[in-house]
Amino acid sequence: MTTPVIILNGASSSGKSGIVRCLQSVLPDPWLTFGCDSFVDALPARMRAADGGIVFDADGGVSVGEDFRALEAAWAEGIVAMARAGARIVVDDVFLGGAASQQRWRKALGDLPALWVGVHCDPTVAAGREIARGDRTLGMAAQQARMVHEGVAYDLEIDTTHTESLECARVIAARVSRIGGPGRVASAG
């Protein structure tokens, strides 16, 4: 038996999206993926740079308002509904609120089991990836590197600083296929 939901949390440019694509390749069954980037892209344009929506500051900071939180809760409930209907789901998220963000997911999940994966990356390395991507506000990766993990409890932690996405995905896939208590892996390498 496998868990129906895998939730990856890590800062911007920490390597989550690459891991997710590799997970879809190495996991034996089909898994759908949903990421916070797609959620943000689906928001009405007027919610970007609005007090109730999401604001990306010039220094890389991100703040969200009540309208954003309401839609985010509905998005999470929809993802959980798909998992309850039999889909296997991988979520690529950035817990801007640390433990409070995880608590919102726990509320949406209810009794549905999930594998909680912390994706870490040295802030300097993530900042280099951020520059190479060219689609992020510079400074976002460094600002989020530690705050997204504050107070968050994980079943598994990986570090992408020197470990490729495929190897990280294999570590996660091995954990998904195992039955047993939570464990901690400091590095996938």
* Catalytic residue (choose from 37, 51, 57, 122): 37
Fill in the DSSP letter of residue 9. E
Question: If you search the block for the tokens 């920490």, which residue do you land on?
Answer: 14
Which helix (DSSP H) or strand (DSSP E) does residue 120 occupy? strand 114-120
Active site residue 59: no
Q: What is the DSSP string of 32-91?
A: EEEEHHHHHHHS-GGGBTSTTSEEE-TTS-EEE-HHHHHHHHHHHHHHHHHHHTT--EEE
In whole angstroms, give the CA distance from residue 99 to residue 114: 16
**Which residues are catalytic, by number?**
37
